[in-house]
A and B are shown apart, each in its own frame.
Chain A
Amino acid sequence: MTFLRVTWAITCKDLLTEWRSRETVAALFTFTLLVMVIFGFAVEAPTTELGAVAPGIMWASLCFAGVLLLNRSFQNEGENECLAALMLAPADWAAIYFGKALANLALMAVVEACAVPAFAVLFGRDLLAGLPLLALVLALGTAGFALVGTFLAALTANVRASAVLLPVLLFPLTVPVLIAAVRATAIALAGGPLSDASQWVALLLIYDLLFATLAYMLFDFVMET
């Protein structure tokens, strides 16, 4: 029980910190929008023909924004030795990890809630046709990035080159998430039923569970210094 309580407390702490400034989410949304616009210029095609590349553009934009968020997530704890204080909490250190991952997931969800409709407008996609599937894929895909990303962010927190290092470590490991999320999003945007995307949803689910378990097992070992 303590484990869950500590996890929840850390999630709330992160969200409260963000609520007081609200700058990260605003900056991330602007950044996501910018990347989408850049893709709009870079991929030279009429809006009607963008169908095949649109899901890729959406996910690539979200990936880049996500890395920025992850980079911040543990860096703030470096000030005043906050991380060391968190580690004194009477629970597994993995609770810190899950609390942080959950907070990152929630923040990304807010960014997505603003950025995905903007994406639909910019690239002429219909979100409503496959909305339940789209929401599921966004949740599972973002969870995949958040689980692996938060773990790596904790590892690279005190490293000077972490801004470069984190994406270099994260992106190769999350290739399956990106592929599955993009394919399932394409199905959702075309209005296909959930059953068409079941293999991709299953892949995302397995990936999330597997890496959550791995991170849980490894976190104590990698934090002890």
Chain B
Amino acid sequence: MINQSTGRTILGILSFLAILLALALVFLYAPLAADPLTGRALPEQKIFYFHIASAWNGFLGFFLVFAFSIAYLWQRARRWDRLATTAMEISWLYFTIVMVTGPIWGRVAWGVWWTWDPRLTTSLVLWLIATAYLLTRALVHSGERAAIICAALGILGFVDVPIVFMSIHWWRTQHPVLITTESVGLTSPMLVAFIVSLFAFTLFFFYLLWIRASLASAEDMVAHLQERARERL
């Protein structure tokens, strides 16, 4: 059996290599997208590989938080709470990447930084839920109370996702649509680059999850030891 830290290092090296490969494929292998009407090259389309990959991982994080939260409320083991918080932190990070890369692309492609597009807006709402989750950790001093509030939020937040999306979708279709998000056709080299970058980001997600969870567990151990030392005094 390989020990924990070796496994972690291997996963780290693997995700590093995968990201290198993804970068090479995205920038060297995949051709520049072209505007279907004018034929103009669209270098800004490169952002798509990282934007979608981040969004996918953000959603993955939300799902993991949901699962870990149920496990925590069920068993009340600190381990599940640590994993849920860790998953939410990383999910928040990925959604922040989505919130930064989205407007950059939107500015070039649509001429505006922001549009209340259903996907964009759903991501924003999820980012806000994730932020509220992390704020709870900071604002609530009792560890167990914070864990329970966060577990409930993790479950409610995940169940909320499809309803949020549907409501925003219907809301937008009732307004005059000034900007449509037509998809740019993907050629197969672009698809390969996209899948590899999706895979690389996901691998990196689990690497982050692992090191952050070990760190959280070490923090718990230190807190426990401090408490015992204080009792001795």
Query: What is A's interface to B at a CB cutoff of 8 Å?
Result: 148, 151-152, 155-156, 158-161, 164-165, 168-169, 171-173, 175-176, 179-180, 183, 199-200, 203, 206-207, 210-211, 214, 218, 221-222, 225
Extra pairs beyond A152-B149, A173-B129, A176-B167 (20, CB < 8 Å): A151-B156, A155-B152, A158-B145, A159-B149, A164-B139, A165-B136, A165-B140, A168-B132, A169-B132, A173-B153, A175-B160, A175-B164, A179-B171, A183-B174, A203-B170, A206-B163, A210-B159, A210-B163, A218-B155, A222-B152
Contact of B152 among A200, A218, A225 (CB under 8 A): A218
Let me know if A165 and B139 touch, CB within 8 A: yes
Chain B residues within an 8 Å CB radius of A164: 139
Taking the nearest CB of chain B, how far is it from the CB of A152, in angstroms?
8
- Cβ–Cβ < 8 Å partners of B156 in chain A: 148, 151, 173, 211, 214
Complex Cα–Cα for A71 and B99 (A): 31
Contact A161 B140 (CB under 8 A): yes
- Residue in contact with B125 in the complex, picked from A172, A199, A206, A222, CB distance below 8 Å: A172
The reply to whether B73 and A221 contact each other, CB–CB distance below 8 Å, is yes
Chain B residues with a Cβ closer than 8 Å to the other chain, count:
32
Which of chain B's residues 137-175 have a Cβ closer than 8 Å to chain A? 139-142, 144-145, 148-149, 151-153, 155-157, 159-160, 163-164, 166-168, 170-171, 174
Smallest CB separation, B19 vs chain A (Å):
31
How near does chain A come to B56, taking the closest CB pair, in angstroms? 21
Q: Are A207 and B152 in contact (CB under 8 A)?
A: no
CB atoms of B155 and A214 under 8 A apart: yes
Q: Give the chain A neighbours of B140 by CB distance below 8 A.
A: 156, 159, 161, 165
Q: Which 8 A-B pairs have the closest CB atoms?
A: A176-B167, A161-B139, A172-B128, A221-B73, A179-B167, A172-B129, A176-B163, A168-B132
Q: Is the CB of B168 within 8 A of A179?
A: yes
Q: Please pick, from A159, A168, A175, the residue contacting B167 in the complex, using a CB distance under 8 A.
A: A175
Q: Is B135 an interface residue (CB 8 A)?
A: yes
Known A172-B128, A173-B157, A218-B73: A207·B141 in contact at CB below 8 Å: no
A210 CB contacts on chain B under 8 angstroms: 159, 163
Least Cβ–Cβ distance between B156 and chain A, in angstroms: 6
Residue of B nearest to A155 (CB): B149
Q: 23 A-B residue contacts at CB 8 Å?
A: A156-B140, A156-B149, A159-B142, A161-B139, A161-B140, A165-B136, A165-B139, A168-B132, A169-B149, A172-B125, A173-B129, A173-B156, A175-B125, A175-B167, A176-B160, A179-B167, A179-B171, A183-B170, A203-B163, A214-B156, A218-B73, A222-B149, A222-B152
A175 to B124, CA, bound (A): 11
| Chain B residue with the shortest CB-CB distance to A168 | B132
Is there an interface contact between A159 and B128, defined as CB atoms closer than 8 Å?
Answer: no
Do B152 and A151 touch (CB < 8 A)?
yes
A183-B141 in contact (CB<8A): no
- Given A159-B140, A165-B140, A214-B159, also A172-B145 (CB < 8 A): no
